[in-house]
Amino acid sequence: MSIVIRNGRVIDPASQTDRIADVLIADGRIVGVAENLAAPAGEVFDATGLVVAPGFIDMHVHLREPGFEHAETIESGARAAAAGGFTSVCAMPNTKPVNDSATVTSYIVERARRLAPVNVFPIGAITKGSAGEELAAIGAMKAAGAVAISDDGLPVMSARVMRRAMEFARSYDLPIIQHCEDLNLSAGGDMHEGARSVRWGLRGIPAASEDVMVARDLVLAQLTGARYHVAHISTHNAVAMVDYARRHGLPVTCEATPHHFSLADEDMAAYDSDYKMKPPLRSVADRAALVEGIAAGAVTAIATDHAPHPGSEKMQEFERCPFGIIGLETALGLALDRLVHSGRITLARLVELFTTGPESILRLGRGTLAPGAPADVTIFSTEMSWTYDVNLSFSRSRNSPFHGKTFRGGPVATIVNGAFAWRRE
Amino acid sequence: MPAGLLGIEELDRAEIEAILARAKHFQPIQSQSLKKLDTLRGKMIVNLFYEASTRTRTSFEIAAKRLGGDAVSITAAGSSVSKGESLVDTLNTLAAMRPDAIVMRHAASGAPHFLARHLPTPIINAGDGAHEHPTQALLDARTILDRRPSLEGLKVAIIGDIAHSRVARSNVHLLAKFGSRIVLCGPASLLPAELAQLAPGVTLTTDIREAIRDADVIMMLRVQLERQHEASFPASEYFRFYGLQLEHLDLARPDAIVMHPGPINRGRELSSEVADFQRSVILNQVENGIAVRMAVLERVIG
């Protein structure tokens, strides 16, 4: 089984490739990148006018299985990922039961192997039940396939527990991912604390609730030497602190979501729960600092924080609705729109943020078109006009603020381990 | 979206003036022996109150009945709400009974706005969380205008738990549209700096004396203990620093009036002497509440 991808603009940041070429795939592996490759018997994909990149990695998704299959399953979430141009996703552990054991990790790995059209890498919990108290079986989860640890959805509030977790993460050589939110400062909040929350009479989640947790954790990362990663970074202070630590040689990184670099609290439709997530959409200045951090290298990866919730849970009073929006299918369109077409970053930098960036944190052995690498390829257009209809989403949930938005550029085909996982109709 | 009344913010001056003028027209009816009109004959108004309220609910009921309409009141306790039905399901059920308007109070900011997107029935907001209470601001404006020719240039001090007050927000929006100078005053933890951006002409102070100095109107807010999710201020010293006392009134203009949306807590927000003070217009506010709500119901349904 082989595929030749003809005549596309091949962008492979790992080898600093950016030229028109063919890509040959056989037996699930990249064979090579060259001009006018001889086509063996197999499929030919004409990528003229398209970009051919290593498969995109989304290091932050919620697949909701086991336990919340009414919102999403490993299969439905992975289909949405493929349609968004992602070939690998990392599944956060806040399932039911929480992925805090090798048993749950193995269940996810096995379900994904049978049903998912993309690679699914579990992230194990830091603490048992993500309760923030007792460390989970980190080594056993790593042996079962976990690629990182996080209590995402919740922060590890105890500095003592976080310190111990970092020590273990370091000894197992796993990145430790924190959802940075001081729960005492954010308690009861529903949106960013600012002029909008005051106007609408909604309780605020202050930027400081993120900042103080990032500051604390950076000190602990220095103490322990752990590879520390800030999930869905959203404030200008947090970006500046991570960048400061990074420049001083600490192995710390952060990710930005498409919704945080695309929208601010001022863009919210009043009391519309499709704009409710954690961290909340921040101020215009925070959003600008995030884009600047992406352009300047302070941000290492783009991740969606794809968070499905069924309509029944989002059809409530704003303050009762759960936090989170889906994002797999709109991530590339938003990144092109807000970062590339606006002139803030190059196309090669965009590909980095989806490939070598997360790969440098997770070490999956992917994110490159080097010969011999697993044949994960994302083919996308920078120009194609298309409109997002959330009702046609592969996700089981519909909670997106980008329904009806017309994009310039988006995914065209996704190849996972040498076979097409999705093609635009 | 059906034309209800969700807030003051989205109304323009002409719309507000029209309601206030119509309310003035309805004022004398309150003291006639025969008070019933037939403007809303055959119309059905549902009052749906998810939060305890005596005066607002009663005021809306009386307003509907004086216009010849029928009013049904539902409170959360004892209804399907307490059986776990979701808000949107409850409202869909009520809407299927084809009322001509739903008057709604809810503890969640934006609850009526959320419903207005999904329901065909006009919704009148009778107070949503810490967001807006439009008929309160309208009746407050009616009450001030019964004593002053215009709102323009008036200094209005609003004192108390501003952060959690829908009365303050609606009054700020209304008064700012007519050029009043608004001073918001309260303990620092209940006075977020962003309040100054609510509307033009808004300033903030934590000093009650500064707020009251040369004021034309003093609006006291109820201390919303049920909306205190944390200890935002030391309750034991609230009255000492933010309670309105008789000697404060010497700082205000000699003809200044004192307002309160009720129910008052004597000794908590204002001293008993102030509550009974001759220029306290608290009962006029209650009376104007009916006239203003008649004007609003007529505008929405009539």
Average pLDDT for A145-163? 98
Enumerate residue ranges in chain B where pLDDT < 50: 1
Largest CA-CA distance found in chain A, in angstroms, rounded? 65
Give the count of Cβ contacts less than 8 A between chain A and B: 70
Same domain, B295 and B241: no
Residue B142 near chain A (CB below 8 Å): no
Question: Could you say which DSSP state residue A338 is in?
Answer: I
- Best interface-test mutation with B: which of A183, A273, A317, A318 has the largest number of B CBs within 10 A? A317
Q: What is the pLDDT of residue B91?
A: 85
Residue written as tokens 């809303």? B40
Mapping DSSP to helix (H, G, I), strand (E, B) and coil, where does residue B186 land? coil
Same domain, B29 and B78: yes
Between CA A339 and CA A333 the distance in angstroms is 10
- What domains are there in chain A, each with its CATH number? 2-51+374-423 (2.30.40.10), 54-362 (3.20.20.140)
Residues 6+ apart with CB under 8 A from B149: none
Residue written as tokens 């609850």? B111
pTM above 0.80, yes or no: yes
Same domain, B212 and B239: yes
Q: Helices marked H in chain B — which ranges? A: 13-26, 55-66, 87-96, 111-116, 134-145, 166-177, 208-212, 238-242, 272-275, 282-301
Residues 6+ apart with CB under 8 A from A297: none
Q: Which two tokens stand for residue A82?
A: 């493929």
The alpha carbon of residue B134 is apart from the nearest alpha carbon of chain A, in Å, by 14
Question: Could you say which DSSP state residue A39 is in?
Answer: P
Same domain, B159 and B241: yes
Whether B139 maps to a domain, the answer reads: no
Whether B255 maps to a domain, the answer reads: yes
CB atoms within 10 A of CB A175: 23
Residue A313 near chain B (CB below 8 Å): no
**So what's the ipTM on this one?**
0.94
Instruction: Of B77, B238, B263, give the one whose Cα is nearest residue B167.
Output: B263
CB-CB contact of B249 with B213 (8 Å): no
Whether B4 maps to a domain, the answer reads: no
Looking at the 3D structure of chain B, how many domains does it have? 2
CB-CB contact of B205 with B185 (8 Å): yes
Residue A382 has pLDDT above 70, yes or no: yes
Same domain, B26 and B79: yes
Q: Is residue B62 packed enough to be buried (19+ CB in 10 Å), middle (13-18) or exposed (0-12)?
A: middle
Same domain, B253 and B154: yes
Instruction: Of A247, A132, A263, give the one whose Cα is nearest residue A196.
Output: A263
Same domain, B26 and B125: yes
Residues on chain A touching B200 (C-beta within 8 angstroms): none
Domain membership of residue B68 as a residue range: 13-132+286-301
Same domain, B174 and B57: no
C-alpha triplet A412, A417, A423: angle, nearest 5°: 20
Same domain, B92 and B183: no
Q: What is the pLDDT of residue B155?
A: 98
Share of chain A above pLDDT 70, in %: 100
Whether B137 maps to a domain, the answer reads: no
> At A288, phi and psi to the nearest 5?
-65, -40
> At A180, phi and psi to the nearest 5?
-85, 105
Residue A1 near chain B (CB below 8 Å): no
Whether B195 maps to a domain, the answer reads: yes
pLDDT tens track for A185-213: 999 999 999 999 999 999 999 999 999 99
Q: Does the N-terminal peptide bond of residue A374 adopt cis geometry, omega within 30 degrees of 0? A: no
Whether B142 maps to a domain, the answer reads: no
Same domain, B125 and B203: no
Q: What is the pLDDT of residue B31?
A: 85
Active site residue A389: no
Residue A348 has pLDDT above 50, yes or no: yes
Same domain, B124 and B220: no
The alpha carbon of residue A279 is apart from the nearest alpha carbon of chain B, in Å, by 20
Whether B1 maps to a domain, the answer reads: no
Q: What is the pLDDT of residue B1?
A: 43
Q: What is the pLDDT of residue B264?
A: 87
Indicate which CATH number applies to the domain containing B195.
3.40.50.1370
Whether B93 maps to a domain, the answer reads: yes
Res. A122 pLDDT band, cuts 50 70 90: very high
Residue B272 near chain A (CB below 8 Å): no
The alpha carbon of residue B69 is apart from the nearest alpha carbon of chain A, in Å, by 30
Res. A149 pLDDT band, cuts 50 70 90: very high
Same domain, B112 and B187: no
Mean pLDDT, rounded, of chain A = 97
Average pLDDT for A376-386? 98
- Inter-axis angle of helices B282-301 and B13-26, to 10 degrees? 110
* Record: contact B192-A317, CB cut-off 8 A: no
* Record: contact A198-B109, CB cut-off 8 A: no
Mapping DSSP to helix (H, G, I), strand (E, B) and coil, where does residue A307 land? coil
Pseudo-torsion of CA B207, B213, B216, B218, nearest 10°?
Answer: 30
